[in-house]
Structure 1
Amino acid sequence: MSTLLDFSAGVATGAGGNTLSGGQIVDAVTNGTPMLTKTNPGAACALPFANRGNIGYRVLLNQNCSLSFTGGNRGELQTMRVILQQPQGGNCEIAWPDNVIWADSAPFVDSRNGTVCCVEIMWDGLSRYYGSLIFG
């Protein structure tokens, strides 16, 4: 029988070998999905999946932008939520990567001033990314 958590050293070591203190465990259990902001990402914006669990990004556009998604832990179903926001002047177009399989088709991103588009990207734990439009 394998041990899932070992608290003998005052920290928890999970089956994957990751170690967390008691405070980190409480934070991990009680917090929501981490959200990172990418301000003015330029012409290309790489959005990596989290080392563990899910992640969110707010991308504040400043020009046309080609997005890419990377990472994802083998054997772990992970999701990434991406909020794209047009600048005051709008007119920023998004190029979606070819390695995402979309539920219908790659979403249209409205380029009017201040509009928001939200998508979810899922890593299947093996080798593929799947995407769907949430809002926009």
Structure 2
Amino acid sequence: MAGVKALMVLSFSGAIGLTFLMLGCALEDYGIYWPLFVLIFYVISPIPYFIAKRVTYDSDATSSACLELAYFFTTGIVVSAFGLPVILARVDVIKWGACGLVLASNAVIFLTILGFFLVFEGGDDFSWEQW
């Protein structure tokens, strides 16, 4: 039952993050949809970790080169997601208020993704690896 509650909290926080993103794009003062490109970063951020978990066969080791490389690529993707709205605001493509809403969205969504991996990482019968 704890897994269902965690899934409910994660889905609610994901909805809040996407709401911030939509507000940053669709409010009347902002009205430009360039910040939606951060959705690409949301989708590709867990991919290096998924690949590393499939490739790494030694589950007893706390760290491997493949897993460390996946962390490096994931960190680069997350930093790029935070940098894109700042660069767009700096060159006056979007306004700074929209940039703030997109940065809030990034924080909430990436914390939601991290929470998903922390909750469903365990090897019990309620893990994401079953999906």
TM-score strictly above 0.5: no
State the TM-score, normalized to the length of structure 2: 0.23
More helix by share: 2
State the TM-score, normalized to the length of structure 1: 0.23
Structure showing greater relative contact order (alpha-carbon pairs closer than 8 Å, 6 or more residues apart): 2
More strand by share: 1
Between structure 1 and structure 2, the one with the greater Rg is 1
